[in-house]
Structure 1
Amino acid sequence: MTDRMAAAEVATAFIKAFGAGDMVTVAECLADDVVFESPRVRAEGIDAVTAVIGEFTRIVEGVDVIAALGDAGQAMVIYNMRTVPFGTLRVVDHLVLRDGKIISDVVVFDTYEIRKAQETEEAAAG
C-alpha cells in the first residue's frame, strides 16, 4: 500500500463502518483530538464525535461509496447515505489524517430533505 492510498483506504473504511453502525471501527479510525463538522453539528474530541456519529447511525440504513480519493494526509469520499426518514442523501466527507488516524472530518450534504421533514413535524405539532 502506498501513502497516497492510505488516507483514502482509512476514510473508506470509516465511512463503511459508519454506514454499518460499527462504532468500534469508527472509533478505531479517529484520533483522540478529532474535530467533526457537518451542516447540523460540530463536535471536538473522540468521545463527543463518536456520540454524534452514533446518534446519527440510528437512522442510517447503509452507505454506498461512489468514489474515494486522497493523498498521504487527506481524503475525500463521496457516497449515498440511505436513511429511514429522509431517503437517500448524497454526501461528501473531507477527512484529514495524522499518523493513520482521522483528525478532521468535514461532512457536506444538502439538508433540504431534513429541513422538509422537520417542517412537516412542526406543522403537525401545531
Structure 2
Amino acid sequence: MTVRATAADVATTFIKAFGAGDMATVAECLAEDVVFESPRVRAEGIDAVTAVIGQFTQVVEGVDVIAALGDAEQAMVIYDMRTGPFGTLRVVDHLVLRDGKIISDVVVFDTHEVRKAEAAQEPAAD
C-alpha cells in the first residue's frame, strides 16, 4: 500500500527546506505553474519562484514550524523564520496543491522589521 503525502506534509517539507536553504527540495515541491505571493513580491512559474525564494534564503538562518494543518488540496503552516538582518518573523503560508505539488503559495508576515532594516541602510538625504 502506498501512503500519499498530505498537503500539510508537502507544505512542511517545503518550509523546512526553505529554512535550510535546500533549493533542490524546494523546487521538487513546486509545480511548473506555481504562483508565489508575499507582502513584498509576486512571482509566477517555477523558475521565477525559485529565484525569489533563493534570494530570500540568503538572510534566513532557519525556521521553527509552530503548526501545520490542511486537507487534500491545501495547507496552512505557521512558523518563526529566523533571519540575520530582521530578527525573527512570524510567518503564515497558505499553500494550494495539485497532484502533490504546490501551485500557490501566499505568504503573510508583518513587514515592519524588514522596512526598518531597509530604512537604516538608505543613505541620508542631503
TM-score by length of 2: 0.94
Cross-structure match for 1:77: 77
Q: 1:55: which partner in 2?
A: 55
The equivalences for 1:18-97 within 5 A come to 18-97=18-97
Task: Look up the SS of the partner of 2:90 in the other structure.
Answer: strand
More helix by share: 1
Partner of 2:7 in structure 1?
A: 7
Partner of residue 105, structure 1: 105
Identity level (%): 81
SS at match of 2:118: helix
| Matches of 1:25 and 1:89, distance apart in 2 | 22
Mark the runs of 5 or more structure 2 residues left unpaired by the alignment: none
How many residues align? The count is 123
Deviation at 1:121, TM superposition (A): 1.4
| Alignment deviations for residues 39-82 of structure 1 (CA, whole Å, 9 cap, x no partner) | 00000000000000000000000000000000000000000000
* Aligned structure 1 segments of 4 or more residues deviating by more than 2 angstroms: none
1:96-126 alpha-carbon deviations (Å, 9 max, x no partner):
000000000000000000111111112xx12
Q: Which deviates more, 15-24 or 110-119? A: 110-119
